[in-house]
Amino acid sequence: MTADPRGPYRADNHEWLHATSKGRVLQLGPSKQINWISTSGNGSITPAGTRADSQDAMNGNAVAYDIGKLLTLGGATAYENVKATRRAYTVDLNGGGRPVSTRTGDLAYARAFANSVVMPDGKVAVFGGQSYPVPFSDATSAMTPEIWDPATGRFSRMAAMAVPRNYHSVANLLPDGRIFSGGGGLCGACATNHPDGAIFTPPYLLNADGTEKTRPQITGGVPARAANGTKLTITTDTAVTSFALVRTGAATHSNDNGQRRVPLTARQTDTRTYEVTVPADPGVALPGTYFLFALNSQGVPSKAKVLNVG
């Protein structure tokens, strides 16, 4: 558990949890210690190493950007009144043994109380946070969002926000591929309450001149519900190269344990017709509500269709 100076009640607040196969849950933060939690029988907890050279990262967060692959970023060694970190790590669960944690590129800005959102193309957008976390404060706010690219391991700065997004803020992917970022505060009548929000348009939707890119459309074949292992016959209005599920967001206290991106196995069966398979393992495609996106060869996503899995 994290060694917070205010004692056990602040230790490992807002845990980073990732449900996997066979009733196992990975706890990969905010303490530097990683643990497997088994839900079988009376349950058990098994140590699984540490996040490489990471320190405790209270009020950082983790997001599943691919099957068995997570990004952790930001946080601080205590809940508040200490410096946040710029460090980020990947955690890979696909090796069959202990999770493999590797340091990736650093954030441009140190952040705690930030929110992270996985996008249909597997990149991760990061909003808000403070370099010196203090609840109900706008001091030391990080006003510039960043996007992490798993292909390069680097963060890129985006257009600056107009309103700080810190403690109690949220960020969630929208079905049109844009991202809502809003809130913060909730401390009575104090000046740091922000009962508002903004919509961020990621670069994958924009041409160099700022106009909107032409997007593929899913024209049919997506039911309201599909069981794990179902094969879907999906049609589109133009050629696409990939499909992905992104589980709908439910962020709280900078953390969204349900969020995950699941790339789908697909093969073209006819002109603009594809057989797309929902993963059979409910530990991969966790039961719940997802956005289903089709992406073209330039990585431009369609507007999503809503699919309930399980």
> Per-residue pLDDT tens for 145-163?
999 999 999 999 999 999 9
- pLDDT of 191 reads 85
pLDDT digits (tens, 9 = 90+) for 231-241: 999 999 999 99
The domains of the chain are located at: 8-205, 218-309
Q: Which CATH topology does 8-205 take?
A: Methylamine Dehydrogenase; Chain H (2.130.10)
Q: How confident is the model at residue 258 (pLDDT cuts 50, 70, 90)?
A: very high
Give 209-217 contacts, CB < 8 A, sequence gap 24+. Answer: 213/298, 213/300, 214/300, 215/296, 215/300, 215/301, 215/302, 215/303, 216/240, 216/294, 216/295, 216/296, 216/300, 216/301, 216/302, 217/294, 217/302, 217/303
Q: pLDDT digit string (tens) for 81-140?
A: 999 999 999 999 998 788 999 999 999 999 999 999 999 999 999 999 999 999 999 999
The whole-model pTM stands at 0.95
CATH number of 218-309: 2.60.40.10
pLDDT tens profile 16-31:
999 999 889 999 999 9
Q: Catalytic residue numbers? A: 167
Burial class (CB in 10 A: 0-12, 13-18, 19+), 258: middle
pLDDT in the model for residue 190: 86
